A and B are shown apart, each in its own frame.
Chain A
């Protein structure tokens, strides 16, 4: 592996920023260099929010990426926006609970995860981001479950600690229930 970039995008409330942060943190625990770059400002309100994570064995130059290796599209606008810039042979992970249409690109690897449905089944639709994160880990092989768990343990502290188990469970479910399209 040299340098990989991941864009996670979705609606404001879908938790894509946290998803990106946990990806970055897990990769850091795996001994990689990382950057996490959010989109911020008015586009956070209503439209698509996204963040870019770069994972590398070397020092990272640009945290800005024009052609990501992986796109995690949590809603339709995100799929439309980022599908076209995805690298050839890159990974497009779609939240098929929300995205009810097919991508147009034929030269990329498409994976699907019913993130909302899976989250609902395990008891809290809010963990849909962690379901998607699990699916991402499985599809890309870029981060390990052990590191994700460690990152979650460090993030879910204090009052948030009660949500730790369900988040870990969501990651596991995501890893299992991912489908190759």
Chain B
């Protein structure tokens, strides 16, 4: 007999089986978002805008109303939703190809308008769904299926730091970069996600949490090796931390 339930599936997850590979961090981040939505009691008024990429089915995985945007356009779709129904909580879930490449204009302008939405940005330095091609966030020297000799700055430019770039914009309320490689990091990541949603609930403007994530399949590494590679390489180029926090000023 069960005396006490210590962990269960968050109500904000639909229970549909995830389509993610073993060791991929999408699943962890999905759960954290769902827990935050539960804790804030906003499930019944939350709308998700899923991207194009591995997380294209994200709108099916959450037990909330939602849609899937054209590639990169989630911030514009979310803008339309939020402007039409400002009482709803609207968040986008986007990968690096979606947010930092094809959707650069949409994310920059949504952030710059101080659009009162939340974006969860998964940065795994590679295009996952299409089979491991170079992303704008791919590290220098990193081999992908379109940089077989390693990413060369002369040909492909440099890995783009979105959190830093967006943090220069005045409309932003909260930006933090986190990772979910250890239990401690997971706790920190959840706090960041919660803070981002809270910023939206308070109407403070645009909030974004960038989560450095693994892609063991396309990196050609085991889940454990992938976690280690992330910490040793990605976290060095993409420093963790809070980039913007206007939540205190607002209080």
Direct contact of A and B (CB under 8 A): no
Q: Please report A residues at the B interface, Cβ cutoff 8 Å.
A: none
Q: Which B residues have a C-beta under 8 Å from some C-beta of A? A: none
